[in-house]
Structure 1
Amino acid sequence: MEFGKDREHPCLGWIPVGSWDSHMHVIDPVNYPLAKDARYTPQPHLLPEALRLERSTGISKIILVQPSIYGNDNSCLLNALHALGPHRARAVVAFDCETIDHPTLERWHQWGVRGVRVNTQSVGKHMDEEELATTLRRYADIIRPYNWVLQLYVPLEATVVLENIVPELGVKLCLDHFGSPDFGKSHHHPREKDPYPYSLPGFRSLVNLLVQGSTYVKLSAPYRLSRDGAWSDLEPVARELLSVAGMTRAVFASDWPHTRFEGLNIRPYMKKLLEWCGDDDVLVQRVFKGNAETLWGIEQ
């Protein structure tokens, strides 16, 4: 296995050459105004800054993800994608199923777009079972001819519904941020016999989805989930996901620039993730590189 000596970072350990960051944003409110209904206003976080962060961690390739604050206007993301080129980056856009057209999709695909994001968490939107199923079917029908990924930022509890919907979609699905468990809710119920983390509402359905084979999960944004800086509540979740899907369908992502958590240092989390992988170099290679290449359809 190829590990680069120039990728050795004392604060991290070994990162495979050609590693991918499967979730980061570029934000430029000056040149690309935010959506009118944006729920927060971050500082600018431009591409040169992003690349400095990636170099400092040993990451060389990135997936640009459309943040909720830009709505369906992908201009900022697409400009960054153009600047990087297809040898270094891919992208996940947002669009309205009612207005998107095939020429636009074809053009985006040529530029390196490989997914669409459906985000209910950042905007506080709730979808019941019928609405969620209908929405995902519509997006899947649109992206299926391009072999794009349907990326979801939804609560972990939604996986109970997804478990029945995903097998019929015919597309790859990727869940943001460990599947987005809520550690603030009670994990134990009078009739609940499952041990933690299976007692988390929706966790067993997440595992079932991962085992089915078309669903991936991003090991990202622990600070959005955990209630303590040591990630003690998150560690059992992470270790179980690595056990179930680490060799096939779990990918690392930084979630830079950590919107609403700006200034956070992601390196301690990366070091912790490497610790959770143990001494298994093959597992590290899959989580930081191989699984991402399969998920995003990267040509070898």
Structure 2
Amino acid sequence: MTIISRPYTSSELFPHGGWDVHHHIFDPAKFAYAPDRHLTPPPATVQQFLDFKKKIGITNSVLTHGLSYGSDCTSLKAFVQELGNSGTKGIGVIDPDTITPGELQEMHSKGIRGIRVNLYKYQAMHDVQRQKQALREHVRAIGAHCPGWSMAFTHVHPEFWGELAPMIQQDIVPSGIRLVTDHFALLKGASMLPAECEGDITRQPGFREIMDLVRAGVLYVKLSAPYRVSLEAPRYMELKPLVRAFLDANPQHVLWGSDWPHTPHMKVRTREEALRETPYLIADDVEWLKNLRSWVSAEEWHAMMVLNPTRLYGW
């Protein structure tokens, strides 16, 4: 494995193309937000994303349905078509109690290749038992009808993965659904570690259990939104050990996503907070990508940016 530590220009980052597997589109002028949303983001339109896509040089993307639209995927299907179905796939949000097989097949025909679990709906952000319930209900809804789809599942408690692991092995793995988690599984860099970890990323709760799931080929992890796990913007140098840990565990199960337009940190908001427009975070995606590229080999980069997302979403 050859890793060259040097700066990369934006034109060198994607010599074979590349996938951004986690971005959003918000266009409330075209599609109204859900009345029970947990967040009110400013507009972030298709054209603005196309400008971003051109700037960093990616060729494909995975549009992740914004939870501000609830479980109505009308906007998602329209945005995927507008972005170009051949170059963009979608990840939807469903209500597992009401979704029908026909609706799932229609989603697939429109370029949707997976779902994300809305923990806010289940009041499960801080409750592992409710998280298990949410996962089981979504597996039940899509498992028999959408073989090969992925299911994105992200929460703010990495320490929950140890309790979730047996259920994942028992209920999700046999279904054929590929489990994905966003934002480094919210494992932290040194600047955000609790004091008892003494700066050692391997001592944080959930580290071993998450790496075991990645190593076993059970869990895909997106290296997305570094500002959620580190305070060292814009280069996030402290994340190199965490990136290397994921890649050393299983380079076929690591992906990259921008999290454009950089939505705020996950939290349970009051009704008043949820309805008040909240600005996006500021991030230097090109600087972060250049640094990330310097930590990995050419083979690892090609797997992370091209091969892995093509296998997971591009079929």
What is the TM-score when the length of structure 1 is the normalising length?
0.86
Hey, what does 2:166 align to over in structure 1? 164
Is 1:228 matched with 2:227?
no
Deviations 1:151-194 (A, max 9, x none): 011122222223212222132100000001256452636xx9xx
Of 183, 196, 202, which aligns to 1:188?
A: 196
Q: Which has the higher helix share?
A: 2
* Residue pair 1:16, 1:285 contacting (<8 A) in 2 also: no
Hey, what does 1:273 align to over in structure 2? 292
Hey, what does 2:222 align to over in structure 1? 218
Hey, what does 2:25 align to over in structure 1? 26
Runs of 4+ with >6 A deviation: 121-124
Is 1:151 matched with 2:159?
no
Q: Which runs of 5 or more structure 2 residues have no equivalent in the other structure?
A: 1-7, 265-279
Is 1:290 matched with 2:307?
yes
Deviations 1:236-276 (A, max 9, x none): 21221122122x00001111111233443211111111012
| Percentage identity across paired residues of the two chains | 27
Hey, what does 1:139 align to over in structure 2? 138
Of 177, 185, 204, which aligns to 1:179?
A: 185
Please tell me the residue identity of whatever aligns with 1:239.
Answer: R
Is 1:14 matched with 2:13?
yes
Residue aligned with 1:188, SS:
helix
Following superposition, the deviation at residue 286 of structure 1 comes to 0.3
Range moving further from structure 2, 209-218 or 231-240: 231-240
Please tell me the residue identity of whatever aligns with 1:140.
Answer: V
CA distance in 2 between counterparts of 1:23 and 1:166 reads: 23
What is the root-mean-square deviation of aligned Cα atoms in Å? 2.3
* Residue pair 2:18, 2:58 contacting (<8 A) in 1 also: yes
Q: Which runs of 5 or more structure 1 residues have no equivalent in the other structure?
A: 1-8
Residue aligned with 1:51, SS:
helix
> Compared with structure 1, are the counterparts of its residues 251 and 187 closer, same or farther at alpha carbon in structure 2 (3 Å cutoff)?
farther
Hey, what does 2:36 align to over in structure 1? 37
Please tell me the residue identity of whatever aligns with 2:245.
Answer: E
* Residue pair 1:39, 1:123 contacting (<8 A) in 2 also: no
Following superposition, the deviation at residue 284 of structure 1 comes to 0.8
Following superposition, the deviation at residue 121 of structure 1 comes to 7.6
